[in-house]
Amino acid sequence: MKVVLTEHVQNIGRQGSVINVREGFARNFLFPRKLAVPATASMVKSILDTAGKKKKEENDEIQKFEALIKRLKQTPVVIRAKASEAGRLFGGIAVKDIVERIEEVSGMRIPGDNVQLPSPIRAIGAFEVEIKLAPGHTEKLTLHIEPIPA
């Protein structure tokens, strides 16, 4: 029986996939949990149309983020924070701080989930931060941490 998955089902398929499953599995597991619907011709056409639109939106978003990264590489991203004489920050620079600074510099907001920071930055200097544009697309951005003059 052909079904269209409405949710991601582990070891079965991703959302929007048209798959062949046994009738009992579909009737007893997938349909009651609203994980799938029967694959009618109109449903398959609707899914394909939606997938095409989603792919186009993803490509537009990737291009928008790539333009942002290009702008950010031309103008350095500098965050100023209070630091000790030894160069240690009195707090940490977290993802939230980076996202806010990028928005101030570029005027464009990126989701905090897209910034890959293994641990908060706690020292002065230059640090590489990965920004995830889309699944499989990441760019590195250099972030400069400077002390606030006393």
pLDDT digits (tens, 9 = 90+) for 80-91: 999 888 889 888
SS3 sequence of 7-41 = CCECCCECCCCEEECCHHHHHHHHCCCCCEEECCH
What's the predicted TM-score (pTM) here? 0.61
- pLDDT tens digit string along 17-45? 889 999 999 999 999 999 999 988 888 78
Same domain, 115 and 47: no
Same domain, 24 and 40: yes
Handedness of CA 117, 118, 122, 127 (dihedral sign): negative
- Extract the tokens encoding 18: 């048209």
Predicted confidence band of residue 124 (pLDDT cuts 50, 70, 90): very high
Same domain, 74 and 125: yes
Q: Indicate which CATH number applies to the domain containing 130.
A: 3.10.430.100
* Separation CA 34–CA 17 (nearest Å): 14
Same domain, 40 and 101: no
- What is the domain range of residue 79? 63-147
Q: Indicate which CATH number applies to the domain containing 25.
A: 3.40.5.10
Same domain, 99 and 51: no
Least confident span in 4-13, 43-52, 88-97:
43-52
Q: What's the domain count of the chain?
A: 2
Same domain, 110 and 74: yes
Same domain, 11 and 48: yes
Same domain, 67 and 119: yes
pLDDT value at residue 91? 84
Same domain, 21 and 89: no
